[in-house]
Amino acid sequence: MPQTCSRGSVTCEFFYSVLFIATTPLELLLNQFKNFLIIILLAAAIVSAVVGSPTDAFVIILIVVLAALLGFFQEHRAGKDIEALKQMTAPTAMVLRGGVELEVQARELVVGDVLVFRSGDRVAADCRLVEAFNLRVDESALTGESVTVGKNASVVKEKTTLGDRRNMVFMGTTVTEGRGLGVVTAVGMRSEFGEIGGMLSEIEVMRTPLQKNLDRLGRWIGILTLLVVGIVSLLGVLRGYGWVDMFVWGVALAVAAVPEALPAVVTVGLALGVRRMVKRHALVRQLPAVETLGATTVICTDKTGTLTENKMTVRQIYANFRRIGITGVGYTPEGSFWYMDGGANWDDGDAVIDVSNDNVLRSVLVTGVLCNDSSLSQVDGEWRVTGDPTEAALVVAAAKAGLLKSELESSCKRVDEVPFSSERKHMITIHQMPEGRCAHLKGAPEVVLDKCTSYLRESGVEGLGSRRDEMLGEAHGMAENGLRVIALAYKMLQDPDDDLSSGFVFAGLVGMIDPPRKEAEEAIETCTNAGIKTVVITGDHVSTAKAVASELGLVAENEKILSGEKLDEMNDEDFGRIVEDVKVYARTSPHHKLRVIDALQKRGHVVAMTGDGVNDAPALKKADIGVAMGITGTDVSKESSDMILTDDNFASIVAAVEEGRNIFKNIRNFITYGLAIHIAEVLIVLATMLAGLPLPLIAIQILWINLVTDGLPPLTLSLEPPDEGIMHQHPRHKSEGIITNRVLLYSGLIGVLITLQALILFLWHISDLLRAQSIVFTLVVVSSMFNALNWRSEKRSIFKLKPFSNPPLWYAITATLLLQLAVLYTPLQSAFHTTSLTSLDWVWIILFSATTLIAGESMKYIEAKREKPNKRHIAQKPSLTT
């Protein structure tokens, strides 16, 4: 190890260096203009400016710039991933150099430095321990394990998993107690923490299904626009129109065919969805992620703090050869004690225990409180603990029986102690009790029982003898059920120098677990009904993972749990064959999580990943949508995510999925609505040109129709509430685009219908061309309003919907009709080349336009009759294999 060090004497790869080189802001901004639809709109703006329509060009360019800036700010936030990583690392470290303890900048550390660790320190580099005294480290942010880890300087096997490397401490973790010395083995990119940063920088950000769908739609519209404009312009010239006139008409038709408001409407629709989701405890960082949730087929979730409370809780006590259950979750000292034997339930009055009358149970609880360095307190109405979570669980359990630590310690002063160490695996505290001096012992069951010669029964103390194996078997059974097992014992001391290696009285066993959230089971069931599979990926032990998953109803008793070690033994082909069947992964590392997500994505799944620790960050970024926890989540996990659950409640993801499905439905609905109008505009002009008739719509009228029909109505359609049964449908396949054959059929039929309406009225009044054009102009706008009512729901009749469940839509329709009146009469009449309409004209316009609503209702009715009963309300697992 070096005695001195200079920064120029080592290779730069050893330095605590920057982990990621971000794309420049200019590059991010220019990338926004690679969208094909944006390119079409820019071309339309240029042409509009050239032919003397600067206002149209300005509006189009303004929409494009706003959309680009929004995308820029979204992607710019992604660069904060690594900034959050750097914030979590220790800025300074205590290092031994030349026999002197020095405080140095963490970035100056090199391999071979010797670091000093004390309670409360943030570890600044990966280190191999050479000394460890009662050293415990919180590695939950790195491994996901919910309890602190005891460390020692022993030798471990070469391929030991990350969570079991007891002789190592890792950069970014926190020392909770004890002290130690360690030799730096890796810094910067070579550390476990740095490897996570490397994985983050290497993961390609996946485009969401919505982004891909809009790109396909843009290309489709672009090709058709060029084709239609070319045909119309050529026909116009052949009919005797001048090239300049036809160029202007071509631009008008191009603007008519291209839904220039689509990017803005989609963005605003997503933003409104985000606002609704905030009220349901979900904060979206990337707008398209809302829609992606609607297509999710698998949710890969971390266990600790996501499905569980992240609060160790005593669930079971074994004392006096009886199993005792404890109700209550978390740190609130409320709960009951009850006998679990004989199939009794906790609410069975005969099974409930009065702790004050049970001396054995009371002894277990008292020993657990006194042999303990944690505390429980109430701050602003909330119960909080300090110290080790395992010890805190013992304090809370005793408080449920009315045994408060502050009161016990006041009457039972601690006079000496033997602190816990990883080597000893036990802790002893000595107290001056009212009945004399007493030693209280807490530790691993086999260690505690080795020190015991007797055990406590209600009738008194009896010799341990062969009962030891029975008690060890009980401890083993509790551990197999996922409980963390602690044994407790005591010894009355006759002399201060009494031997503490034997002679203890065994009091009992305590089993604790980080319990599942009460909302999680219901949320998982809802996801199952919605055709979404839930997969648990955790760093915890297999038994713990299985216990929690079983309690949540995720796995049956005989289902296997796949460990990270077993996963490493499989090649990708073998793993691909079983990945669909595995529901729980245990003892995993960040690499394992990435591998699971990759395997699922290769099989066609849209994968959401929830998590809260640094270890979850690469998987959050790799997944189609990453969901971080807002309260317990680290900055790294939040910055790597697309969405944050502000209440850390897995159940909130159900609301997010529902909102995602509804947003996609609404986007499809208002696009279908808009396509019908654009198809009608093009067909009206194309049909009259082919027939050699005067044009029924002039260029400025086409632009006006686009303005009023592509503005407020589609925006308010995005506010429609979810259809009934939306969470009983299976997820759509990710390859399913916004534009389906059904969308083309519906929009095409409605577009043809509006075209026929317009041509009939136009030919009827063609003797008065200005009046005929005004009638057609108004008819298209009014028909589009009836069509907006059609698309309040994709399949349900408008007469089965609550009429005023979406008031903004009615406001939008009213505002659009009032604007149309403004261009039909003074003062805008001359600007739009219109004339006033008679009452009879309005009657015909309304009657013809109403057939749009009738046609939409008829198509829904026919489709409903053709569908099998309840087909759309049954969640089925789609075929996703590729």
Catalytic residue positions, numbered:
302
Exposed/middle/buried for 12, CB within 10 Å: 0-12, 13-18, 19+?
exposed
**Quick check: bond before 827 cis, omega within 30?**
yes
The CA distance from 433 to 410, in Å, is: 10
DSSP-derived letter for residue 259 is -
Tokens, residue 851: 């057939």
Bridge partners of 101, per DSSP, are: 96
The CA distance from 716 to 788, in Å, is: 10
**Closest Cα to residue 80, out of 243, 200, 223, 227?**
200
**Vertex 68: Cα angle to 215 and 259 (nearest 5):** 50
- HSE at residue 769, side-chain half, CA atoms within 13 A, is 7
- HSE at residue 798, side-chain half, CA atoms within 13 A, is 18
Distances (CA, A) of 198 to 110, 195, 591, 775: 19, 5, 11, 64
The CA distance from 96 to 187, in Å, is: 16
- Report yes or no: 731 and 880 within 8 Å, Cβ to Cβ: no
Determine how β-strand 174-186 pairs with β-strand 625-629: unpaired
Tokens, residue 750: 């409605």
Q: For 686-707, give one letter per residue: b (16+ CB within 10 A) or e.
A: bbbbeeeeebbbbbebbbbbbb
Tokens, residue 98: 């030349």
The CA distance from 528 to 526, in Å, is: 5
Q: How many other C-beta atoms can be found within 10 angstroms of the C-beta atom of residue 141?
A: 23
Tokens, residue 436: 């004399």
Distances (CA, A) of 627 to 579, 619, 633, 649: 21, 10, 10, 11
DSSP string, 8-33: GGS-GGGS------PPPHHHHHHHGG
The CA distance from 71 to 263, in Å, is: 11
- Report yes or no: 511 and 315 within 8 Å, Cβ to Cβ: yes
